[in-house]
Structure 1
Amino acid sequence: MHYILLQDSSWATFIGRFHPAIVHFPIGFLLIGALLELGRRWGKVAVSESVIVFILLLSAVSATFACAAGYLLSLSGGYDANLLNNHMWKGIGVAVFAWMAWAVKSDNLQRIMPSEKVIYLPAFIIATVLTLSTGHDGGSLTHGEGYLTQYTPEPFRGLAGLPPMQQKPTEIKPITDVQQAIVYTDIVQPILEAKCTQCHSASKSKGDLRMDQLALLAKGGENGPAFVAGKGAESDMIKRCLLPENEDEHMPPKGKPQLTADQIALLSWWIDQGAPADKKVAQLTVSEAVKPALASLGKEAPANAENAKEPAVLSLKVPKANDEAIENLRKTGLIVSTLSQDQNLLEISAVNLPGFSDKQMELLQPVAQQITWLKLGGTAITDAALPQIAKFPNVSKLHLEHTVITDNGIVSLKPLAHLGYINIVDTKVGDKGLKAIADMKALRSVYVWQSAVTDSAVSQIGRKNPDLLVMNGFNEATVAQFVKAGDTGDKKELKNK
């Protein structure tokens, strides 16, 4: 039995995960008991000593169970050893002193050892103080060191001797020159800091994995290496991001800020390039598929990008998509993200599924109403897929870049009443196709570089449709403007809805 208790197992983890729930009982009982004892001594509360004794017994019993469950939870690993050790012994102290306070307060024990009554109050006070300190350590173990004091405001911060407040990054800062950016330092590390290091750092290393330093990330954790250099699709850190959000192995965990499709694409690209520590973007091979994601890291888009009309899709509300249908999509490798909980709108991306074909389009039918952003760039779809896309009534952003679609297929998209953004870079779409969609009521941005569209057609359409932005040249500034105007801005508005 002793051997089993010292080993991590499914039973140990199952029981251990009740620790966060059980631990609230001794906290509550001890604090209530302390308040009642204080009120009784001040003559403010009429409560019998038997009630205090009963509360102390509940405190001691629940603290003991919390210690046992906490020990079993600690076997799963991933916690700072010193902090865990302090938390454990303080928790044991709570249980020990709670039992002492109860034993001394008990009438039967007082008859046997009346002199022991003097240790009742000190034991009660120590148990209560330890409860507060243990709770602080527990919060640090669960959420990272300094979790409870992280947002202490001034002047209390200075009085407590805490260092100046440092905001944890939540977004990648704009990069002045993307081509000269060091991929790991300027792109990868900020993504990891914003989305991963809360659970994988020096203060908390779930699964014995740390992601705050490249050497430790390469070392991996209890499940092996986090990534396989040169093989992004086979790397555990990428595969876990692509799992359904409700699965236990999905990372980041459900409820935590999730990586965007662009962020996953950038991490996967970095790994594909060998996960270099000090190389710049210009020194690596940049695929067409990852160029928009890189460009979106540049300086903020010009102000005129913010003056576009609010897409009508922002006022839509559709039924919630079937959970099973979403899970089936994710199992194929598609990235499915909820853009707005209130509106039930979805983004579906095949950024990591280049083999996605016309036959697989039928998988999207169950969520036809919910799709508003559809990213099929770099896939194997043909013109045959476009009539099926036209049956998704609420599509507002459509990525078809680096596919073999032509004028014959693009015409099929005219029924899409909310389509405001379309990317047909490096396709066979020409002047005929562009002219066919240029009059679509909601269309505001079309990206056509490296397609069959001519400059003269772009100029002609620009004069005829002054509200339509047609971009037919590649540079980081224009791509960043296009991506931010077509994706980032609307995403913020959708989330605020």
Structure 2
Amino acid sequence: MLIPLLQASPWALFIGRFHPVLVHLPIGFLLIAAIIEIGRRTGKISVSESTVVFVLFWSAVSATFACIAGYLLSLGGGYDEDLLDAHMWKGIGVAVFAWVAWLVKSDRLAGKIRFGKAVYLPAFAVAVVLTMTAGHDGGSLTHGDGYLTQYTPEPFRSLAGMDPIEEKTKEIKPITDVQQAVVYRDIVQPILEARCTQCHNASKKKGDLRMDEVALLLKGGENGPALIPGKGADSDMIKRCLLDENDDNHMPPKGKPQLSTEQIALLSWWIDQGAPVDKKVAELTVPDQVKPALASLGGGAASGGSAGGAKQKESAIASLKVTPAKESDIQALRKAGLIVKTLSQDQNLLEVSAVNAPQFSDKDIALLLPLAEQITWLKLGSTKITDGALKEVAKLKNLTKLHLEHSAVTDQGIAEIKSLPHLEYLNIIDTKVGDAGLKNVAAMKGLRSIYVWQSAVTDSAVAQTARQHTGLQIVNGFSEAEVAQFLKAGDSTATKPVATSKK
């Protein structure tokens, strides 16, 4: 009966994951017992010895259960063995010395054990000290070596002989010249450091996988290589990012900061290019769908757009709250290859992206309709959709951002979406939409910006429309900073009219 629990079975791992809950009980009980004991011996409080015995008993019991759960959790692997052994034996020591302290203090056994009084305080003290050191090791196992002492301030740091605090990259910093950026060092590695290496590093190797070096990504872990050079869509690290967030195999785990659509696209593109270590962006082929993600790394504002201190209008749906989407409807989109992300837990609004589903077409568009109330950002760029799809898109009444770039839509289709009440941003780069389509959507009350570069829209129509609609930003050119502006989360496009030409 107990044998399955001694192996890495679902039952063992299920019970083992209660270790973080159980382990706090002996810590609390032992510290309470220590405070009571100090108060009694200094005359600060009046508490009977039976109270101390009671607290010690439950500290020993809870420490024992925490040890059992900890062992079962360790069966899942992925931990530094030396650190795990130290943590395990210290945890066992806490339980053993807690039992000893209780035994020699208990009314039933105290008189039967020689030297009981002499043993009590040392055993109690050792249990408390081991609790602290085991906790330190537990923090290092969970969050990486030196987690508890990482930010020790001065002068204590110098007195302890510790190295100065080393600043670690947590987010991608703006890149001055994206074209000259070394793809792995300047783009890929910062993404991995921000989202992946916390659980896959030298001191903590979940799934026996390290992601802090390219060679180790290629080596992989329990499930084989994390990436396959030249095959981003088939690489395990990409496939796991695209799984449902509630899936046990989804990475990063639910509750951890997730990769953005742009970050996933950049990682997949790097792998597709052969996962080079020393190549610059300018040396690689950059598909159109990846250009906006690269552009977002520059972190600049649109040229000719709003000034740095320009006041931004609040989105029309800023205070909107809708009913939660049905999980079955979300799963249907994900099965079609779409990425679905929650933009706001409080509002239940969603972003749907087809960045990894280039074959998405008019016949698939009906999958969006059950989520017509929740979808507010929709990215259908570089897909097979045509004007027919926009008849259905027009039913997404809370849509604020719509990407149609590099698709076959025309003026006829654009006319279908002019009834959307909250649409603020529209991207029709490299489409067949012309002057008529621009004039149609320019009259939309909520529209703040429209990107028309390489479309059929003429310069004269841009200039005329900008004069007629002074609150509308029209971008008739492409620059990295301009694309970066609308990729930012929570972007609220400038209201100052812009009509730039870079053709």
Structure-1-length-normalised TM-score: 0.93
Contact 1:429-1:452 within 8 A present in 2 as well: yes
Partner SS, residue 232 of structure 1 = coil
Amino acid at match of 1:344: N
Q: 1:373 aligns with which of 371, 374, 377?
A: 377
Contact 2:322-2:347 within 8 A present in 1 as well: yes
Correspondence for 2:290: 290
What are the superposed Cα offsets for residues 408-449 of structure 1, whole Å, 9 maximum, x if unpaired? Answer: 101111011211111111111111111211121121211112
Correspondence for 2:50: 50
What are the superposed Cα offsets for residues 291-327 of structure 1, whole Å, 9 maximum, x if unpaired? Answer: 1111111142157166343322223222222233223
Partner SS, residue 318 of structure 2 = helix
Q: 2:430 aligns with which of 426, 431, 436?
A: 426
1:92 aligns with 2:92: yes
Deviates more, 1:373-382 or 1:310-319: 310-319
Correspondence for 1:82: 82
Correspondence for 2:263: 263
Correspondence for 1:447: 451
Correspondence for 1:27: 27
CA distance in 2, matches of 1:73, 1:287: 44
Correspondence for 2:496: none
Contact 2:376-2:398 within 8 A present in 1 as well: yes
Q: What does residue range 158-173 of structure 1 map to in structure 2 within 5 Å?
A: 162-166=162-166, 168-173=168-173
Amino acid at match of 1:252: P
Task: Give the Å deviation of 1:397.
Answer: 0.7
Deviates more, 1:256-265 or 1:6-15: 6-15
Correspondence for 2:198: 198
Structure-2-length-normalised TM-score: 0.92
Contact 2:238-2:268 within 8 A present in 1 as well: yes
Task: Give the Å deviation of 1:153.
Answer: 4.9
Q: 1:304 aligns with which of 306, 323, 336?
A: 306
Task: Give the Å deviation of 1:3.
Answer: 7.5
CA distance in 1, matches of 2:168, 2:245: 23
CA distance in 1, matches of 2:56, 2:319: 56
Task: Give the Å deviation of 1:265.
Answer: 0.7
1:133 aligns with 2:133: yes
1:321 aligns with 2:325: yes
Contact 2:105-2:116 within 8 A present in 1 as well: no
Write out the 4+ residue segments of structure 1 that deviate beyond 6 Å after TM superposition.
Answer: none
Partner SS, residue 426 of structure 2 = strand
CA distance in 1, matches of 2:445, 2:108: 86
CA distance in 2, matches of 1:4, 1:458: 71
CA distance in 2, matches of 1:324, 1:18: 29
Contact 2:358-2:383 within 8 A present in 1 as well: yes
What are the superposed Cα offsets for residues 4-49 of structure 1, whole Å, 9 maximum, x if unpaired? Answer: 6663222221221121122122212211222222222223333332
Considering fraction of residues, name the structure with more helix: 1
Q: 1:489 aligns with which of 486, 491, 499?
A: 491
CA distance in 1, matches of 2:347, 2:182: 39
What are the superposed Cα offsets for residues 251-303 of structure 1, whole Å, 9 maximum, x if unpaired? Answer: 11111111111111111111111111111111111101111111111142157
Q: 2:368 aligns with which of 355, 364, 385?
A: 364
CA distance in 1, matches of 2:158, 2:313: 47
Partner SS, residue 402 of structure 2 = strand
Correspondence for 1:331: 335
Task: Give the Å deviation of 1:112.
Answer: 3.0
Amino acid at match of 1:282: A
CA distance in 1, matches of 2:358, 2:53: 68
Partner SS, residue 326 of structure 1 = helix
Amino acid at match of 1:190: P
Task: Give the Å deviation of 1:245.
Answer: 1.1
Q: What does residue range 138-177 of structure 1 map to in structure 2 within 5 Å?
A: 138-153=138-153, 162-166=162-166, 168-177=168-177
Amino acid at match of 1:36: I
Amino acid at match of 1:304: S
What are the superposed Cα offsets for residues 113-153 of structure 1, whole Å, 9 maximum, x if unpaired? Answer: 33242111011011011112111211221222333334445
* Number of equivalenced pairs: 489
Pair 1:269–1:305, CA change in 2 (3 A): farther
Contact 1:184-1:278 within 8 A present in 2 as well: yes
Contact 1:200-1:210 within 8 A present in 2 as well: yes
Partner SS, residue 117 of structure 1 = helix
Q: Percent identity?
A: 69
Pair 1:170–1:489, CA change in 2 (3 A): farther
Correspondence for 1:494: none
Task: Give the Å deviation of 1:194.
Answer: 0.9
Correspondence for 2:218: 218
Task: Give the Å deviation of 1:75.
Answer: 1.4
Correspondence for 2:102: 102
Task: Point out where structure 1 has 5 or more consecutive residues left out of the alignment.
Answer: 492-497
CA distance in 1, matches of 2:328, 2:182: 41
Deviates more, 1:102-111 or 1:250-259: 102-111
Pair 1:169–1:469, CA change in 2 (3 A): same
CA distance in 1, matches of 2:73, 2:307: 51
Pair 1:65–1:175, CA change in 2 (3 A): same
What are the superposed Cα offsets for residues 377-396 of structure 1, whole Å, 9 maximum, x if unpaired? Answer: 01111101111111111111
Deviates more, 1:190-199 or 1:452-461: 452-461
Deviates more, 1:416-425 or 1:54-63: 54-63
Task: Give the Å deviation of 1:338.
Answer: 1.3
Task: Give the Å deviation of 1:156.
Answer: 5.3
CA distance in 2, matches of 1:185, 1:339: 29
Task: Point out where structure 2 has 5 or more consecutive residues left out of the alignment.
Answer: 494-503
